[in-house]
Amino acid sequence: MGSADDQYRKFADLTFEDFQRMAQDDSLSPYEKTGSPDSYRKGKEGVTFQSILSNLPLLNEQGKTVLEVGPGCSDLPRLLINLCRERGHKLLLVDSEEMLAHLPEENFIRKFPAYFPQCESIFTDYAAKVDIVIIYSVLHYVFVEGNVWDFLDRSLELLAEGGEMLVGDIPNVSKRRRFFSSARGVKFHQQFMNTQDLPEVHFNRLERHRIDDAVILGLIARARNQGYEAYLLPQPPDLPMANRREDVLIRRP
């Protein structure tokens, strides 16, 4: 068993099909099925959920329509399901059939087994009717195998007036580079990896399949140019990847 970083690499660069396969692999924990080593998520999903809640105040109201794209099957969607039950929200979930099969069937939940946005029925039934959209730890997979611009545009299409959308937990290679070039980043790396080596950081190098500042700021600009307010937010420092991930919040005026 290697370091947590080695374990994390084992789960990097996954496709939707990989997630389908992992969802059916009973040797994996619910965290591993959703692409995280246990050390990154186990016992930490409560703080992650709190950070989602603090960015999406409409979740604390009553009787809203909530959509989560890519809920996976760990504690996070279950915390959301409990909240939706308490608050009388309707909950729409889009993920593979294999992943959704791990989540309960309840009368306020509607499941869409599909690769978003390839699910016309959600657009027919919910265009401009969803109050809260949650996309958490999903965008970097879409960046590699899908079309992030279409993914963004079609998510925005579902948002109701006054609605809010969190595109959370986006790994940003530019942020990572800045952190690991700093004295605090070097110390963090050396303690975490138990080494005296310096972290590997490359500037001016092509990083295929990695989201950087240009992509994140481009998504924000695109949402704004289409009439939505969009903001880049830091993650709370107690989240496991806060030094290299960040969140985008979008509101429809």
Residues that bind ligand SAM (CB under 6 A): 16, 19, 34-35, 69-72, 74, 76, 94-96, 99, 115-116, 136-138, 141-142, 146
Min separation Cβ 74 and ligand SAM, Å: 5
DSSP per-residue string spanning 34-47:
TT--HHHHTTTHHH
**In 88-168, where does DSSP find H-type helix?**
97-100, 120-126, 139-145, 148-158
Helix (H, G, I), strand (E, B) or coil at 23: helix
Min separation Cβ 44 and ligand SAM, Å: 11
Give the residue with the Cβ less far from ligand SAM, 95 or 189: 95
Asked if 54 and 16 touch (Cβ cutoff 8 Å), the reply is no
Min separation Cβ 112 and ligand SAM, Å: 9
Give the residue with the Cβ less far from ligand SAM, 74 or 172: 74
Task: Give Cα separations from 93 to 14, 31, 109 (angstroms).
Answer: 20, 18, 7
Give the residue with the Cβ less far from ligand SAM, 35 or 240: 35
Min separation Cβ 102 and ligand SAM, Å: 10
Give the residue with the Cβ less far from ligand SAM, 151 or 189: 151
DSSP per-residue string spanning 212-226:
-HHHHHHHHHHHHHT
